[in-house]
Amino acid sequence: MNSYAVFLRGINVAGINIKMAHLREALTSRPFSGVKTLLASGNVVLASGLDPAGVKAEFEACLRETFGYDAWVVVLAAPRVAELVAACPYPADDAATHTYLTLASDPDVLAELYEAGRALDGTELTRLGPEALAWLAPAGGTLDSPFSKLSARPKYKAATTTRNLRTMIKVRDAALP
């Protein structure tokens, strides 16, 4: 069994409301064990004998069949979450800025987003690997930041999701045995 972190896109926003208890219950019929949800923003840790692509396929099918919405998730092995958190060059807690990691299920989409983000004035971002990049936003102004607006474009919706570094730390701690 492998330990995974699953990050849902668009849950509990824009009319897609799923209680975490209902999500855990729905996932019991799938080839997962030890399912835990973290926060209400769509973070799940679980164990499975499937590979990451199999976890993604099963998880998305469960969401579509049970909750009736076009779901997209990013699946990372627990050790990879730990590596990404460790590789992040920005602080988890800072009074002036917030650190975010944008995660992707498609490396090509993330590469395109990274290149577009590098062209934005005043945007600080770092590529952490083929599935993640880290970026800074001013405290209190995340949604208005140029990179946040760029990453929210519909063309990135099916392949990316973003988490605060503090959330990633909590997921790392819950996912590692």
User: In this predicted model, what pLDDT tens digit does every residue of 64-79 receive, in sequence order?
Assistant: 999 887 888 999 999 9
User: Length of the chain, please?
Assistant: 177
Instruction: Give the pLDDT confidence score for residue 67 in this predicted structure.
Output: 87
pLDDT score recorded for residue 176: 82
Average the pLDDT over each of 5-9, 10-14, 65-69, 105-109 and give the range with the smallest value: 10-14
Burial class of residue 122 in the structure, from the number of CB atoms within 10 Å of its CB (0-12 exposed, 13-18 middle, 19+ buried)? exposed
The token pair at 62 is 């469960």
More confident residue, 10 or 132: 132
Hey, is 74 helix, strand or coil?
A: strand
Q: What percent of the chain has pLDDT over 90?
A: 71
The whole-chain average pLDDT of the chain stands at 91
- 125-129 and 43-48 beta bridge pairing: unpaired
**Is 173 a residue whose pLDDT tops 70?**
yes
* pLDDT tens readout for residues 20-71: 888 899 998 999 999 999 877 789 999 999 999 999 999 999 999 998 878 8
The CA-based angle 93-94-96, given to 5 degrees, is 150
Q: In what order do the strands lie in the sheet with 33-38?
A: 33-38, 43-48, 2-8, 73-77
Confidence band, pLDDT 50/70/90 cuts, at residue 19? confident
When pLDDT is averaged across residues 113-141 and rounded to a whole number, the result is: 94
Mean pLDDT value of segment 78-88: 97
Residue 62 has a CB neighbour count (10 Å cut-off) of 19
Q: Spell out the residues 6+ positions from residue 33 whose beta carbon is closer than 8 angstroms to its own.
A: 1, 46, 47, 48
Q: Note the pTM of the prediction, 2 decimals.
A: 0.93
Q: Half-sphere exposure of residue 56, counting CA atoms within 13 Å on the CB side? A: 16
Cβ atoms of residues 77 and 47 within 8 Å:
no
